[in-house]
Amino acid sequence: MGTMDKIRQTSPIILAVVAVLFIGFMVVSDMDLGTTMSQSDRTKAVIGSVNGHKILYSEFESRVEQYMERQRNQMGPDAEIDDEPIRQQVWNQMVEEILLRQEAEKLGISITDAEVSEILLDDPPAEWRQSFTDSTGHFNREVYLQLMTDPAKVSQFTKDPQAIANFRNQILMLEDYVRESRLQQKLQNAVAATVSALPPTYLQQQYQVANSSAEVSYIAVNTASVRDQDVQVSDAEVATYYNKYKDYFKQKPSRQLKYVALPLGPSKQDTASAEKKIKTLAEALRTTADKAQRDKIFDDAVIDYNGESNDFKLVKDIDPLKYSYLSNVPEMEVVGPVRLADGMYFFRVDGRRSGSNEVVKASHILIKFNDNKDSAKAEANRIAGLAKGGEDFAALAGKYSTDMGSAQRGGDLGYFGKGQMVKPFEEAAFAATPGTITSPVESQFGYHIIKVEDKKSEELKFTEIRITPLMSTATRNQTIALANQIKQQIEEGQPMDSVAKRSGFETSMTGFFQRTSPALGSTSLTLFAFDSDMGAVSNPMTLKRIGVVVAQLSDVRTEGIKPLEDMKEEIRARLIRQKKLDKVKAKAEEVHRKVAAAGSIEAAKALDSTLGVETITVKNNGQVPGLGMEPAFTTAAFSTPVNKLSEPIRGERAYFIMQVKNRTEANMAGFDAQRKDIYQAQLDRLKNSAYYMWMNTVKENAEIEDNRLRVYNM
């Protein structure tokens, strides 16, 4: 909460309460629950379980709605919110919370109410502290403790009983959050304790890699000159390679779907209908001479096409593209049709006025009183003198202003009207002319140096009609009906390819996906795939950005070794790459002889301009700039003597002839000085990795049932 929020005469306590109350509970309206289920049944419905622990529909939906409400508050009430990723995020979170509690119970780890209270009162989460912290970073502990220990005092700021109840609920949710966070921390510590001490040689190696480098000139003899048809890899060779290395080709349970997608959008008829509406309205407005009749035609169109009437708006608040058409239109005249990015518009200017609601754009530098008001005033006068003397105001604000929120923006406060600032600040800002800088102005917050940048008072009142092709209900119904026909024909035994082709569509295949991966971005499709038998056909599902999808389970992979069929092309590509390297080996040896005869890579380049010489700096970590992972390259860069020409080095994608120009070795004296810090940093990294590896193992071994698709379509 910045100082300017308080200058705008809003109590910090109220802001803290409002920030909490924003996250409320709303009735879920976008469910697609079975019509046979009563509300009571829905509330009690079990949508899944974790090692036998049930996850209730009511708990899940309550959490989902909380997340969605937060997004509405952040993005605005009219923002389109994609609930699919939110639902999956909530599901994953609830599963992990249950697993954490179960594992903690096994290890005898618990969190007492006293621990939760201590954290809430002495060290609250950052997001809650922020609501009670001013722009100087001061945490108003007194107000925080007052509300936390006696939530009923929220009634000082609102008489809405639901708001008070919601505030109490938010405190309970905060307690749950603190309990889960603390439990996770204790589990992390328990897992971290299993990480053994790191061997000194490992730390030295890590230090050497990070602090050593080699400058290398090299020539790459790549396989680009070898055509694919010049290299033959037989099925027998692929099978031999597979059998030799198949233990490395492990897979988790996965599924593959074949699907047909029917786009959802305006049909040709819908587009023609929109164009007809635009043409009819434009013609009626153009050919009607009587002004009163034209107004009636426009007013009727506002009703018919859900037009929007905008009360007086400051010019600064109107979309610049729209204003470019409105600026020169006489009052009560209509302009249109006008094509903008989101459709065709008709505008009518209903009124103009100036001076009624003047706004000011200003920046300020705030100097707080602290313990010495006279000293603060002297400092404010000094800075005001610098600003008036020509020094950059934004830079001064960033350096001196104690309003940290606006200081980060060079003191910029944007536009504000009367009644939004405390009186002394408002009077000074509105009295000043644009471009001027005021002398320090005193308010209860300190001394303000104000730079007035602009004033506006011109306002427009206008009505707009937007007409754009929209998918009609008839078009949507026809699309869904066709999808159901396709589903029925496939279930009757007709091949999906043939059914789709007759309807004017093509089929597609997903890649193999696991239970944790939303197929085509849809959790519902993934649940269908893992909850169905081979050949099963899904109900039509409407997926954002894709359309209405009908899917058929086309392949099932169980846990174990990937079959040869799945690995065949990948193995073939590897063998082709190896055979191409075999073919360029002779060329690499020839280049090596040429360079050796010349005495150096640079000399060879002077004799043969076709040799491509590159000079780079590398570390011994397998990564080569511009080439990707080439471990053989970096190993040679640190083992070949400086200035000595290397033998041809076989890499992953080329042969390399290199000459190390110079090499910087790590100063091991620095390692001795930093040994303790290096040890702790590496140990912390390994401990964190150990926890997440442990949690992944716990999740993989858990019996998790996801029955959401049986309760409703997501």
Structure confidence at residue 124 as a pLDDT band (50, 70, 90): confident
Cis peptide before 337 (omega within 30 of 0): yes
Return the percentage of the chain with pLDDT > 90, whole number.
39
Of 508, 542, 560, the one marking the end of a domain is: 560
pLDDT at 552: 97
Residues 6 or more apart whose Cβ sits within 8 Å of residue 632 = 649, 650, 651, 652, 656
Asked if residue 552 belongs to a domain, the reply is yes
Structure confidence at residue 7 as a pLDDT band (50, 70, 90): very low
SS3 556: strand
Residues 595 and 583 reside in one and the same domain: yes
- Distance between CA atoms of residues 107 and 118, nearest Å: 23
Asked if residue 702 belongs to a domain, the reply is no
Residues 425 and 336 reside in one and the same domain: yes
CB–CB of 515/561 below 8 Å?
no
- Distance between CA atoms of residues 665 and 662, nearest Å: 10
pLDDT at 159: 64
Asked if residue 25 belongs to a domain, the reply is yes
pLDDT at 620: 92
* pLDDT reading at 585 higher than 90: yes
Structure confidence at residue 338 as a pLDDT band (50, 70, 90): very high
Neighbour-count burial of 38, counting CB atoms closer than 10 A to its CB (0-12 exposed, 13-18 middle, 19+ buried): exposed
* pLDDT reading at 480 higher than 90: yes
Q: What is the per-residue pLDDT across 481-503, written as a single tens digit (0 to 9) for each?
A: 999 999 999 999 999 999 999 99
Structure confidence at residue 127 as a pLDDT band (50, 70, 90): confident
pLDDT at 633: 95
Asked if residue 617 belongs to a domain, the reply is yes
pLDDT at 135: 58
Residues 611 and 536 reside in one and the same domain: no
Mean pLDDT of the chain: 84
170 is in which domain, residue-wise? 3-192
pLDDT average, residue stretch 293-299 = 92
Q: What is the CA radius of gyration of the chain?
A: 35
pLDDT at 32: 40
Residues 244 and 355 reside in one and the same domain: no
pLDDT at 148: 77
pLDDT at 612: 85
CB–CB of 130/1 below 8 Å?
yes
Residues 6 or more apart whose Cβ sits within 8 Å of residue 534 = 553, 555, 556
Asked if residue 686 belongs to a domain, the reply is no
Q: What is the per-residue pLDDT across 500-520, written as a single tens digit (0 to 9) for each?
A: 999 999 999 999 999 888 899
CB–CB of 442/374 below 8 Å?
no
Of 423, 449, 470, the one marking the end of a domain is: 470
pLDDT average, residue stretch 674-699 = 82
305 backbone dihedrals φ, ψ, rounded to 5°: -110, 20
Q: Which amino acid, one-letter code, is at 504?
A: G
Nearest CA among 326, 337, 268 for reference residue 301:
337
pLDDT at 156: 67
pLDDT average, residue stretch 22-28 = 28
Nearest CA among 448, 445, 435 for reference residue 401:
448
Asked if residue 58 belongs to a domain, the reply is yes
* pLDDT reading at 165 higher than 80: no
Residues 416 and 301 reside in one and the same domain: yes
pLDDT average, residue stretch 456-471 = 88
Structure confidence at residue 24 as a pLDDT band (50, 70, 90): very low
Residues 220 and 316 reside in one and the same domain: no
b/e burial code for range 375-395 (CB count within 10 A of at least 16 → b): ebbebbeebbebbeeeeebee
Residues 92 and 222 reside in one and the same domain: no
Residues 47 and 137 reside in one and the same domain: yes
Asked if residue 124 belongs to a domain, the reply is yes
Q: What is the per-residue pLDDT across 176-225, written as a single tens digit (0 to 9) for each?
A: 888 888 888 888 888 877 776 677 777 888 888 888 999 999 999 988 88
* pLDDT reading at 566 higher than 70: yes
Residues 581 and 542 reside in one and the same domain: no
Return the percentage of the chain with pLDDT > 70, whole number.
90
Residues 573 and 618 reside in one and the same domain: yes
Of 439, 470, 501, the one marking the end of a domain is: 470
Residues 79 and 132 reside in one and the same domain: yes
pLDDT at 711: 67
- Distance between CA atoms of residues 139 and 47, nearest Å: 42
pLDDT at 283: 93
Q: What is the CATH number of the domain that holds 414?
A: 3.10.50.40
Structure confidence at residue 355 as a pLDDT band (50, 70, 90): low
Structure confidence at residue 525 as a pLDDT band (50, 70, 90): very high
- Distance between CA atoms of residues 525 and 534, nearest Å: 14
- Distance between CA atoms of residues 444 and 369, nearest Å: 9
* pLDDT reading at 18 higher than 90: no
Asked if residue 111 belongs to a domain, the reply is yes
* pLDDT reading at 276 higher than 90: yes
CB–CB of 590/225 below 8 Å?
no
pLDDT at 16: 36
pLDDT at 363: 92
Residues 477 and 443 reside in one and the same domain: no
695 vs 355, higher pLDDT: 695
pLDDT average, residue stretch 323-327 = 85
Q: What pTM, to 2 d.p., does this model score?
A: 0.57
What total of structural domains would you count in the chain?
4
- Distance between CA atoms of residues 461 and 142, nearest Å: 47
Q: What is the per-residue pLDDT across 45-77, written as a single tens digit (0 to 9) for each?
A: 888 899 999 999 988 988 888 888 878 777 766
